[in-house]
Amino acid sequence: MFHLMENVNKNLYFFFLIFALSSLTAAGTEPGDSGAKNAETGSLESFADPRRIWGDGLEGLIEEAYRQCFKTYIIGGRIMNLRMPFVENHERDKLSDQDWEFLGGGKGNPGYLWEAIDRVLDSEDFKQYTRVLGDGREKIIIFDMSRRTWTVSLDLFDIARIKTGAYHGLPHKPYVLVSGRGITAVEVYNYLYCIGWTGMDCSGFVWYVLSSIARRQDLDLGRSLSRALGVPRGEDPSYYAGTWFYNSSNSQIISVPDKISALRPGDILLFRGVDGDMVHSAIIQSVDFSRGVIRYLQSTDEAPLEDRGVHESFVYFDPSRPGISLKDPGLRWTQSRYPPFPGEKASPFSDDGERYRAYEELGGGRVVRLRVLNPPGRKTRS
Q: Helix, strand or coil for residue 124?
A: helix
Percent of the chain at pLDDT > 90 equals: 71
Does residue 183 carry a pLDDT above 50? yes
DSSP letter for 195, please: I
C-beta of residue 177 within 8 angstroms of C-beta of residue 162: yes
pLDDT greater at residue 307 or residue 380: 307
Does residue 367 carry a pLDDT above 90? yes
Q: How many H helices and E strands in the chain?
A: 12, 12
- What letters, b where the CB count within 10 A reaches 16 and e where it falls short, cover 342-361? bbbeebebeebbebbbbbee
pLDDT confidence of residue 162 = 93
pLDDT tens for 153-179 read 999 999 999 999 899 999 999 999 999
Specify the amino acid at residue 351: D
pLDDT tens for 249-304 read 999 999 999 999 999 999 999 999 888 899 999 999 999 999 999 999 999 999 99
pLDDT tens for 95-118 read 677 777 888 888 989 999 999 999
**Beta strands 309-316 and 293-300: pairing type?**
antiparallel
Nearest to 134 by CA among 185, 184, 204: 184
pLDDT confidence of residue 85 = 97
Nearest to 180 by CA among 152, 206, 204, 202: 152
pLDDT confidence of residue 375 = 62
pTM of the model: 0.86
C-beta of residue 255 within 8 angstroms of C-beta of residue 368: yes
Q: Helix, strand or coil for residue 205?
A: helix
Please list, in sequence order, all residues whose beta carbon lies within 8 angstroms of the beta carbon of residue 147, skipping any fewer than 6 positions away: none
Question: Concatenated DSSP letters for 111-135?
Answer: HHHHHHHHHHHTSHHHHHHHHHHTS
Q: Tell me the C-alpha to C-alpha distance, in Å, between residue 165 and each of 105, 160, 175, 176, 298.
A: 33, 9, 12, 12, 29
pLDDT tens for 19-51 read 444 444 343 333 344 444 454 444 444 446 777
| Segment among 39-53, 185-199, 225-239 with least mean pLDDT | 39-53
Indicate the pLDDT class of residue 53, thresholds 50, 70 and 90. Answer: confident
Q: Could you give the maximum distance between any two Cα atoms of the chain, in Å? A: 68
**Counting beta carbons within 10 angstroms of the beta carbon of residue 117, is it exposed (0 to 12), middle (13 to 18) or buried (19 or more)?**
buried
Rg of the chain over all Cα atoms, to the nearest angstrom: 22
Does residue 380 carry a pLDDT above 50? no
pLDDT confidence of residue 7 = 42
Distance of alpha carbon 333 from alpha carbon 320, whole angstroms: 18
DSSP letter for 171, please: T
Distance of alpha carbon 96 from alpha carbon 88, whole angstroms: 15
pLDDT tens for 55-102 read 888 999 999 999 999 999 999 999 999 999 999 877 787 767 777 788
Nearest to 312 by CA among 295, 300, 337, 291: 295
pLDDT confidence of residue 347 = 87
pLDDT confidence of residue 374 = 67
pLDDT tens for 293-343 read 999 999 999 999 999 999 999 999 999 999 999 999 999 999 999 999 999
Three-class HEC string of 251-291: CCEEEECCEHHHCCCCCEEEEECCCCCEEEEEEEEEEECCC
pLDDT confidence of residue 250 = 92
C-beta of residue 381 within 8 angstroms of C-beta of residue 218: yes
pLDDT confidence of residue 187 = 98
Average pLDDT of the chain is 86
Distance of alpha carbon 156 from alpha carbon 145, whole angstroms: 24
pLDDT greater at residue 379 or residue 317: 317
